[in-house]
Amino acid sequence: MAIRPIIRFPDPRLRQKAEPIGPVDEAVRALAGDLTDTMHAAPGIGITAPHIGVPRRLVVIQLESDREPHIYIDPEMLWVSPERIRHVEGSVSMPGVTDEIERHARIRVRYRGLDGSEREEEAEGLMAVCLQHEIDQLDGIFWIDRLSKLKRDRLVKRFEKLQRIRA
C-alpha cells in the first residue's frame, strides 16, 4: 500500500460528485489500502477517494476505538433520525482548522464491503457524524458548506493564514 498526496482546499475536485465504484476487484482493494495508509499518515479518522484525486465513491473510517478501518464502497444514506447533534469537524484537505457542525444523531447506510457484498449499518454519535461528513464529500459537499457564510468565510481566512505561515 502507499501514502498518496492529499488534495488541498480550495481544489475544485473537492466539490465534484464522485462516481460509483462498480465491480470490487484488486484495484479497488488496493485503493482502499492506499486510502487507509494516507488517512493514518494525515492523520485523520476518515477519508474518501476524492481526497486523493480519485473521483470514486469509496470511504475509509477508523475511530480511535476501532481495531480495523471500516471500508464503505458506494455508501448511501437510507434513513436519518430527526434528532440532531453538534460535533467539531475538520478535513484532511484543510488541516489545522475545525468548527462545530450540526448533523443527524443516528443514520442507516447501505454500502458494499471489500468482498463486494451489500450491507446495511446503523450508526450513532461520532460514527454517524463521520459517515455523513464523508458521504457529503462523495456528493461534492465540502464540510465547510454546512457552516453559515460568516463562519465559513472566517474559517477560510484562518486556513489561508495558516498556509502562508507554513509556506
| H or E stretch covering 85 | strand 84-89
> Is residue 155 assigned to a domain?
yes
**Is 49 within the bounds of a domain?**
yes
Alpha helices in the chain (DSSP H): 26-41, 125-138, 149-166
Q: Residue 63: CA atoms inside 13 Å, Cβ hemisphere, count? A: 11
Give the tens place of pLDDT for each residue, 14-29: 999 999 999 999 999 9
Question: Could you read off the pLDDT of 80-122 as tens digits, one per residue?
Answer: 999 999 999 999 999 999 999 999 999 999 999 999 999 999 9
Please give the model's pTM, rounded to 2 decimal places: 0.96
- pLDDT the model gives residue 108: 98
Give SS3 for 120: strand
Whether residue 167 has pLDDT greater than 90 = no
Q: Domain span at residue 17? A: 12-166
The answer to whether residues 104 and 132 touch, using CB atoms and an 8 Å cutoff, is yes
pLDDT, tens only, 50-90: 999 999 999 999 999 999 999 999 999 999 999 999 999 99
Q: How confident is the model at residue 166, as a pLDDT? A: 80
- Beta-bridged to residue 70, according to DSSP, are 61
Query: What is the set of active-site residues?
Result: 134
Q: Tell me, what's the pLDDT at 1? A: 78
Report if residue 73 sits inside a domain: yes
CATH number at residue 77: 3.90.45.10
Could you tell me if residue 4 is inside a domain?
no
